[in-house]
Amino acid sequence: MRKLPIDESLSYIEQYPISQYFSFDIVPFIHVYEFDKGEFIFHEHSIPDYLYYMVEGKAKLYITHKNGKISLIDFITAPTFMGEMELLNAERYSKGIQTLSKSVCFAISIQEVKEKLLADPVFLKMLCLFLSHKATTATAKYTQNQAYSLENRLASFILLSSDQQFYKEKHTEVCDYLGVSYRHLLFVLAQFSEAGYITKQNRGYVLTNRPELEKLAAEITY
């Protein structure tokens, strides 16, 4: 993590407007940080000092269980806030957030502006919408996880995350995200290959029978 020099910082602040979320001038309170790929924005069980607004990059939000299993709660993509729950103090200790690519974040010192933020209707309204949306998608994901087998969920995930008929997510992340073992993920992936729905190529898979994948995914959607 490194703090960007003034001129670069200002350029980011100009490029990614954040003022709309506040009814007072937030710019004086912003520090711009850059995180390398793989760096932690929040360590698990830490007490965050900053509310972040990620403007570039990708990260994963996860928790580690006592038995060693990891639940990848969400893939986080810019633009988004991070640490808002901790700001609210509803949850004192943070979950973990680790970047998946080089990321740029606006950091706002909680200590400096907590009071102002929690009395700012513009910020609070945005935050309500954000939290509500986050809760809705999380609930959808988790209830589906327990109502459908991996076959359906993986088909759905492949369709959502593939880019131009090409799927290349990391197995190690996907199994934590879908809540199954690495072994089982590979097993179902092999089934899909076997059935000709996908075909291994280089470091990923080409979708070779999209309609069938869509049929499997459609069993979930309501």
Nearer to DNA among residue 133 and residue 184 (C-beta) = 184
Stretch that binds a second copy, among 7-15, 66-74, 100-108, 197-205 (CB under 8 A): 66-74
Of a second copy, DNA, none, which one does residue 25 interact with (CB within 5 to 8 Å by kind)?
none
d(CA 71, CA 64): 6
List binders of a second copy among 148-187 (CB under 8 A).
148, 179
CB of 175 to a second copy, least distance (A): 11
- Give CA–CA dist 36/154, Å, rounded: 29
Query: Which residue, 109 or 149, has its beta carbon nearer to DNA?
Result: 149
Q: Report helix angle 182-194 to 171-178, nearest 10.
A: 110
**Cis peptide bond prior to 79, omega within 30° of 0:** yes
Out of 131, 151, 193, 206, the residue judged to bind a second copy by CB under 8 A: 131
**What are the structure tokens assigned to 68, written together?**
């060693």
Is residue 58 within 8 A of residue 104, CB to CB? The reply is no
| Neighbouring residues of 193: CB distance < 8 A, sequence distance ≥ 6 | 199, 200, 205
Nearer to a second copy, 60 or 134 (CB): 134
* CA-wise closest residue to 22 among 128, 132, 116: 116
Instruction: Check binding of 199 to a second copy (CB under 8 A).
Output: no
> Is-contact 78 34, C-beta < 8 A?
no
Q: Which residues bind DNA (CB under 7 A)?
A: 38, 67, 69, 146, 149-151, 170-172, 179-184, 186-190, 200, 203
Candidates 11-19, 142-150, 155-163, 183-191: pick the segment binding a second copy (CB under 8 A).
Answer: 142-150
Helices (H), 55-147: 84-88, 110-117, 121-147
Contacts (CB under 8 A) with a second copy, residues 22-61: none
Binding of residue 120 to a second copy (CB under 8 A): yes
Report the interface residues with a second copy, using CB under 8 A: 63, 65-67, 69, 71, 73, 84-85, 88, 90-91, 118-121, 124-125, 127-129, 131-136, 138-139, 142-148, 179, 219-222
